[in-house]
């Protein structure tokens, strides 16, 4: 049996062995969350080729938020999609499911937990997303000031331009490349082949951001199976080993941050060991086009890296699943053998407040 | 600029009401509700005066309404089952406490009703019987609103009333209390 690459964090090698996602759509008007997740789990388990079922899973962890649904405990009803009887060891984070994967990775460091199911789901279409996202800005004592997420992103983009590190044409180039890449992603929501000049001819939504620099509003779901040690080789021919994983958070006070840089991403990338070897593929969770530029700089990604071959969050932006999808897309390329070493990044909170970096490697 | 000065600025009438100590900032979010494919079948049934459930292909339990999945086996409950209009009271309580928005005169009975053929009970009102005569095992039937008031809502069921049958044997509903 081959030997997994040594992990930089933890003591037990853990790998992504399967990944599946629902179609990313503007509005899933027929299926509820359970009905959306069930086929994802079926595809996920089938993809291992080992005939696994929920009974082979030692730990379950999900990421979602009740603010999207407008009802309490939506993560509990989502468990109906798995069938948690007899009782299962299960947990949930009110965050993007990339952080559920982090919790599962921690659980897998224990003997007795060899496998984990991680999933995230978000129906962003049900509520008024621009208002809902305002509520994460005033979490403690203040009244909502209601700056909408696009206006905030525009402030960040402006800061990047003012720092002399990017132009509006750079934003358009990111969007053009991402949407073109999305043409080969059957799960993508927004894909097209347009030139930078065509995109720059669009009207501003909030200057300096034009339509192309904004993410779509997306309903979606995704899931990953993790396995530790030998079990990974039983469930995947070429597991995507997590050799580094770390997350860092910055203050919620936007005025106290340099919005044009991402020191939390840089630190997480450093701890996860991004720079310890060449990178073939990077899946960066950058909902707004300019954020990809900030992240690539923070991670020190050079010109030879294939950034967001899936199209990234500009092609589909299912809240609470989008970060996990970055890990899944990066892992899928390692498992397919088209990448040897990949970086996946996930973000949470306004304007890249909280960032998680994962390094995935094949043999 | 006067608006940003404490007390309303120069020239504002004196205000001796004291400092503001609390501030109310109402937040309102509006949502669409997406019932899903399975529950939509149940809701459409209610609009026709019928109870529609779904059966799990593994454990064969019938859920009414179904959310599309068996919560025990995690598989789709694709088989649609029409249930009877009759059922059994498995548990109940007498509501004697008035509260804001109450639409029924107290005391009244709120009960869990297990429809014949179903494997899960749901809540309903019990009427046309003195409150002190309601009991576990009581056989009841649904009384629906008039046809022109039927809607995709549990409000289509006005209440349940006794059928007059002998009480159900405890053994028949002991797993559903």
CA distance A218 to chain B (A): 15
Is there a domain that residue A60 lies in? yes
Average pLDDT value for chain A = 95
Whether A210 shows a pLDDT value over 60: the answer reads yes
Q: Residue A10: its pLDDT value, please?
A: 87
Q: Residue B6: its pLDDT value, please?
A: 55
Using an 8 Å CB-CB cutoff, list chain B residues near A35: 36-38, 67-69, 76
- Among A22, A75, A79, A81, most B C-beta atoms within 10 A, so best to mutate, is A81
Map residue A44 onto helix, strand or coil. helix
What percentage of chain B exceeds 70 in pLDDT? 93
Is there a domain that residue A311 lies in? no
- A54 in reach of chain B (CB within 8 A): yes
Between residues A5 and A24, the one the model is more confident about: A24
Q: Residue A143: its pLDDT value, please?
A: 74
pLDDT-based confidence at B2, cuts 50/70/90?
A: very low
- Contact yes or no for A28 and B31 at CB 8 A: no
Q: Residue B175: its pLDDT value, please?
A: 92
- Contact yes or no for B33 and A83 at CB 8 A: no
Query: Residue B10, exposed/middle/buried by CB under 10 A (0-12, 13-18, 19+)?
Result: exposed
- Per-residue pLDDT, averaged over A175-185, amounts to 98
Q: Which helix (H) or strand (E) holds A228?
A: strand A219-228
- Per-residue pLDDT, averaged over A217-237, amounts to 96
Both structure tokens of B100: 């804001």
Using an 8 Å CB-CB cutoff, list chain A residues near B30: 127-128
CA distance B96 to chain A (A): 28
A137 Rama class: left (phi>0) / alpha (psi -120 to 50) / beta? alpha
Both structure tokens of B174: 């002991």
- Contact yes or no for B71 and A84 at CB 8 A: yes
Give the distance from CA A250 to its chain's centroid: 18
For residue A228, the cross-strand partners are A14
Put simply, the chain A residues between 108 and 137 with a CB less than 8 A from any chain B CB are: 123, 125-128, 131-132, 135
B38, B71, B74 ranked by CB distance to A35: nearest: B38
Under DSSP, the state recorded for B142 is E
- Contact yes or no for A127 and B37 at CB 8 A: no
Both structure tokens of A229: 């040690």
CA distances from residue B91 to B97, B109, B170 in whole angstroms, order as listed: 18, 10, 11
Average pLDDT value for chain B = 92
- Per-residue pLDDT, averaged over A103-113, amounts to 94
CA dist., res. A324 & res. A347, Å (int): 10
Residue A252: which of A356, A352, A137, A156 has the closest Cα? A137
pLDDT-based confidence at A140, cuts 50/70/90?
A: low
CATH classification of B84-177 is 2.40.50, yes or no? yes
Q: Residue A72: its pLDDT value, please?
A: 87
- Contact yes or no for B32 and A125 at CB 8 A: yes
Is there a domain that residue A25 lies in? yes
Using an 8 Å CB-CB cutoff, list chain A residues near B23: 143
In degrees and rounded to multiples of 5, residue A84 shows phi and psi of -100, 60
Residue A53: which of A325, A235, A232, A233 has the closest Cα? A235
- Per-residue pLDDT, averaged over A88-94, amounts to 95
Domain region containing A95:
14-128+217-240
A41, A83, A144 ranked by CB distance to B70: nearest: A83
Q: Where in chain B is the domain with CATH 2.40.50?
A: 84-177
- Per-residue pLDDT, averaged over A44-70, amounts to 95
- Contact yes or no for B71 and A35 at CB 8 A: no
- Among A27, A34, A68, most B C-beta atoms within 10 A, so best to mutate, is A34
What percentage of chain B exceeds 90 in pLDDT? 79
Report if pTM > 0.95.
no
Q: Residue A1: its pLDDT value, please?
A: 65
pLDDT-based confidence at A332, cuts 50/70/90?
A: very high
Using an 8 Å CB-CB cutoff, list chain A residues near B26: none
pLDDT-based confidence at A141, cuts 50/70/90?
A: low
Using an 8 Å CB-CB cutoff, list chain A residues near B33: 70, 126
CA dist., res. A196 & res. A206, Å (int): 18
- Contact yes or no for A38 and B74 at CB 8 A: yes
- Contact yes or no for B34 and A123 at CB 8 A: yes
B29, B30, B37 ranked by CB distance to A30: nearest: B37
pLDDT tens string B103-156: 888 999 999 999 999 999 999 999 999 999 999 999 999 999 999 999 999 999
* 8 A C-beta contact, residue A273 and residue A361: no
Of A135-149, A273-287, B89-103, B118-132, the range with the lowest mean pLDDT is A135-149
- A48 in reach of chain B (CB within 8 A): no
CA distance B107 to chain A (A): 30
How many structural domains comprise chain A? 1
CATH of the domain at A108: 3.40.47.10
- Per-residue pLDDT, averaged over A294-300, amounts to 98
- B25 in reach of chain A (CB within 8 A): yes
Query: Residue A131, exposed/middle/buried by CB under 10 A (0-12, 13-18, 19+)?
Result: middle
What percentage of chain A exceeds 90 in pLDDT? 87
Q: Residue A316: its pLDDT value, please?
A: 98
- Contact yes or no for A127 and B32 at CB 8 A: yes
How big is the CA angle at A107 (ends A101 and A111), to the nearest 5 degrees?
140
What percentage of chain A exceeds 70 in pLDDT? 98
pLDDT-based confidence at A137, cuts 50/70/90?
A: confident
Q: Which residues, at least 6 apart from B30, have a Cβ–Cβ distance to it below 8 Å?
A: A127, A128
Using an 8 Å CB-CB cutoff, list chain B residues near A79: 71
Using an 8 Å CB-CB cutoff, list chain B residues near A85: 71-73
CA distance A189 to chain B (A): 20
Helices (H) and strands (E) in chain A, counts: 13, 12
CA dist., res. B23 & res. A57, Å (int): 49
Instruction: Give long-range contacts, CB 8 A cutoff, 24+ apart: B80-83.
Output: B80/B41, B80/B52, B80/B53, B80/B54, B81/B52, B81/B53, B81/B54, B81/B55, B81/B117, B82/B45, B82/B50, B82/B51, B82/B52, B82/B53, B83/B51, B83/B52, B83/B53, B83/B115, B83/B116, B83/B117, B83/B118
- Contact yes or no for B36 and A144 at CB 8 A: no
Whether B1 shows a pLDDT value over 50: the answer reads no
B25, B32, B36 ranked by CB distance to A35: nearest: B36
Whether A34 shows a pLDDT value over 50: the answer reads yes
- B36 in reach of chain A (CB within 8 A): yes
Query: Residue A184, exposed/middle/buried by CB under 10 A (0-12, 13-18, 19+)?
Result: exposed
CA dist., res. B64 & res. B54, Å (int): 7
Whether B4 shows a pLDDT value over 70: the answer reads no
> Looking at chain A, which residue has its C-alpha nearest residue B25?
A143
């Amino acid at each position: 049996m081959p030997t997994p690459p040594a992990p930089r964090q933890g003591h037990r090698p853990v790998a992504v062995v399967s990944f599946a996602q629902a179609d990313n759509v503007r509005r899933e008007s027929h299926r509820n969350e359970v009905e959306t997740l069930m086929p994802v789990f079926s595809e996920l388990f089938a993809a291992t080729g080992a005939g696994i079922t929920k009974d082979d899973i030692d730990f379950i962890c999900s990421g979602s938020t009740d603010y999207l649904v407008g009802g309490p405990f939506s993560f509990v009803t989502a468990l109906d999609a798995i069938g948690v009887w007899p009782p299962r060891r299960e947990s949930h984070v009110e965050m993007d499911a990339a952080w559920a994967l982090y919790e599962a990775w921690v659980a897998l460091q224990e003997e007795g937990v060899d496998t984990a199911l991680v999933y995230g789901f978000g129906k962003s279409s049900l509520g008024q997303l621009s208002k809902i996202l305002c509520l994460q800005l005033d979490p403690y004592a203040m009244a909502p000031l209601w700056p909408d997420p696009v206006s905030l992103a525009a402030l960040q983009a402006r800061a990047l331009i003012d720092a002399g590190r990017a132009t509006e044409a750079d934003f358009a180039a990111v969007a053009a490349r991402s949407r073109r890449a999305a043409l080969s992603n059957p799960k993508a929501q927004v894909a097209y082949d347009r030139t930078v000049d065509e995109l720059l001819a669009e009207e501003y939504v909030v200057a300096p951001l034009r339509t192309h620099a904004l993410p779509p509003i997306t309903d979606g779901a995704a899931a990953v199976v993790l396995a530790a040690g030998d079990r990974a080789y039983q469930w995947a021919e070429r597991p995507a080993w997590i050799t580094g994983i770390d997350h860092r958070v910055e203050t919620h006070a936007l005025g106290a941050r340099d919005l044009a840089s991402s020191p939390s991403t840089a630190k997480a990338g450093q701890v996860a060991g991004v720079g310890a070897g060449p990178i073939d593929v990077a899946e960066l969770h950058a909902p707004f086009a300019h954020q990809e530029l900030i992240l690539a700089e923070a991670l020190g990604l050079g010109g030879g890296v294939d950034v967001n071959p899936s199209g990234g969050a500009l092609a589909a932006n299912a809240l609470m699943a989008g970060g996990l999808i970055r890990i899944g897309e990066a892992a899928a390329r390692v498992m397919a053998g088209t990448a040897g070493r990949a970086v996946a990044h996930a973000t949470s909170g306004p304007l890249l407040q909280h960032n998680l970096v994962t390094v995935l490697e094949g043999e | 600029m006067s608006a940003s000065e404490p007390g309303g600025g120069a020239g504002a009438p004196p205000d001796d009401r004291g400092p503001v100590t609390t501030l109310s900032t109402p937040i309102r979010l509006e949502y669409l509700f997406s019932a899903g494919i399975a529950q939509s079948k149940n809701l459409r049934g209610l609009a026709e005066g019928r109870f529609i459930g779904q059966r799990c292909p593994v454990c064969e339990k019938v859920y009414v309404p179904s959310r599309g999945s068996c919560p025990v086996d995690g598989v789709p409950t694709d088989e649609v089952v029409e249930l009877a209009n009759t059922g059994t009271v498995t548990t109940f309580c007498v509501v004697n406490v008035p509260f804001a928005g109450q639409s029924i005169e107290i005391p009244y009975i709120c009960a869990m009703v297990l429809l014949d053929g179903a494997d899960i009970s749901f809540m309903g009102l019990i009427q046309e019987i003195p409150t002190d005569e309601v009991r576990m095992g009581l056989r009841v039937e649904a009384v629906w609103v008039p046809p022109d008031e039927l809607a995709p809502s549990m409000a289509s069921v006005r209440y349940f009333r006794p059928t007059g049958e002998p009480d159900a044997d405890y053994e028949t509903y002991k797993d559903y209390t």
